[in-house]
Structure 1
């Protein structure tokens, strides 16, 4: 970005601010990166694609991009896959995702889907009592996830740790198939 001329840098800054990311925000540098190499038309097309794919209103797109401008750098296939899974499979509301855009950046195969499988398995077996926020389950580190959701159930579900590891490799096991 530093090799651009001064006028282009000004355009990038104005564009980043136009996304609703204030200059003083920690997200501003991410917004600069997200718009630095695209034209205004390309960015507009990406915003429209986000609206369509995640069923977001203009306001929700604004919220998502201001909180996670890196969503503008993701491919259409990646975004479509996350949308299909988060909305259709997990059952998250579009507004929920818009307020937590970081969830879109996580690996579908390595994090989102396996952790969802574990949560559903634990609910189905009655091993967790309270409803858990899917976002809070996805956001914790791998170590914390295993300590909170796998280790406490070693006796009741001795295969859970192995099944989780397999799910992280993309395998779908019978224990993780839900009607």
Structure 2
């Protein structure tokens, strides 16, 4: 505990890490944890970054140092250098995956999102979490983006973070809210889907829902219901506005 406290910054953070990996207290400090932390510091990860990494993947601290070296080499091989802002995220993305597993995941991403080799090399370094997503979740998002939203593969490859958002809790409800507002002339037709998706929920509601309470009195209700239940009304997505 004395060793971990300065790394995690607080007792509460240590407890959160222990909830994800209670074996932190029983592992070999001298031959695993300390060498791994020294090496990660050499890789230009700050103490805060290491703590965040271990909150999501505590096994990284406990594994054989040779495995951590291999993870770093893999992250760099995928185009994310040491010291970059995405380095910690890529380490988590490739953690404990073999080269064969990573190659299969890259091929699946290419097939699912119709990406070229160049496009997958752009997308994955920008959103390493894609390597951790299930085939089913990727397929569902792909079908939604292509069939419903009408996005192009290159558009998604340049903005891969949208794949990480909840399909039912954010992507689909916001798409239909945006479509509704455009259809009823309540916003300009050139509003970009990605720029709407990345807004925080509070900002999205303040910008796209609240200003239209009079013109579209059911919009807030229908949008909230879609977010809660993951279902868009089967009638025309959201009810007709009171304005033309």
Q: TM-score, normalised by structure 2?
A: 0.70
Larger Rg: 2
Q: Which residue of 2 aligns with 1:170?
A: 230
Which deviates more from structure 2 when the two are superposed, residues 106-115 or residues 123-132? 123-132
Stretches of structure 2 that go unaligned for 5 or more consecutive residues are: 1-59, 239-244
- The answer to whether residue 237 in structure 2 is matched with residue 159 in structure 1 is no
Q: Which residue of 2 aligns with 1:138?
A: 197
Aligned residues: CA RMSD: 1.1
Q: Is the 8 A contact 2:168 2:231 kept in 1?
A: no
Q: TM-score, normalised by structure 1?
A: 0.95
CA distance in 2, matches of 1:106, 1:129: 24
Which deviates more from structure 2 when the two are superposed, residues 157-166 or residues 30-39? 30-39
C-alpha displacement of 1:25? 1.0
Q: Which residue of 2 aligns with 1:22?
A: 81
Q: Which residue of 2 aligns with 1:108?
A: 167
SS of 2:80 mapped into structure 1 = coil
C-alpha displacement of 1:142? 0.6
1:132-163 CA distances to partner (integer Å, 9 max, x unpaired)? 11111000011111111111111111000000
Which of 1 and 2 has higher RCO (CA within 8 Å, sep 6+)?
A: 1
SS of 1:103 mapped into structure 2 = helix
- Out of 209, 221, 229, the residue aligned to residue 150 of structure 1 is 209
Large movers: runs of 4+ above 4 Å: none
- Count of paired positions: 177
